[in-house]
Amino acid sequence: MKRNRRISAVAVLTLAALVTGTGAGFAATTTPSATPVATHAFDTAPATATAPTRSFQGTLPAPTGPYAAGEDIIHLTDASRPDPWVPSSGPRQLTVTMVYPAVPGTGTPAPYMTLAEAAGAIRFRGMPASSGVTPQNLSGVTTHAFDGARPQRGKYPLVVLSPGFEDQRMTLTSLATDLASHGYVVALVGHTYEDSGETLANGETPTCAICHNPALDFDSVAASRALDMSFVIDRLTHGNTAWPLARLIDKHEIGTAGHSIGGAAAATTMTADPRVRAGVNMDGSFHPAPMPGRINRPFLMLGAADNHPVGGHDTTWGQAWAALGGYKKWLTVAGADHTSFTDLDLLLEEAGFPTPGPLSPERGVAITREYVTAFFDRTLKGIHSPLLDGPSPNNPEVLFQYQ
List the one residue out of 51, 47, 61 whose CA is nearest residue 19: 51
Q: Say if residues 297 and 277 touch (Cβ distance below 8 Å).
A: yes
List the one residue out of 242, 244, 234, 317 whose CA is nearest residue 276: 234
φ, ψ dihedrals at 298, nearest 5°? -60, 140
Q: What is the mean pLDDT of each run of 10 residues along the chain (403 residues)?
A: 41 41 26 26 32 74 98 98 98 98 98 96 79 91 98 98 97 98 98 98 97 95 98 96 97 98 98 98 98 97 97 96 98 98 92 86 98 98 96 97 83
pTM: 0.89
Sign of CA dihedral 97, 209, 32, 6: negative
Q: Say if residues 225 and 190 touch (Cβ distance below 8 Å).
A: no
Per-residue pLDDT of 27-83, as tens digits, reads 222 222 222 222 222 222 333 344 444 588 999 999 999 999 999 999 999 999 999
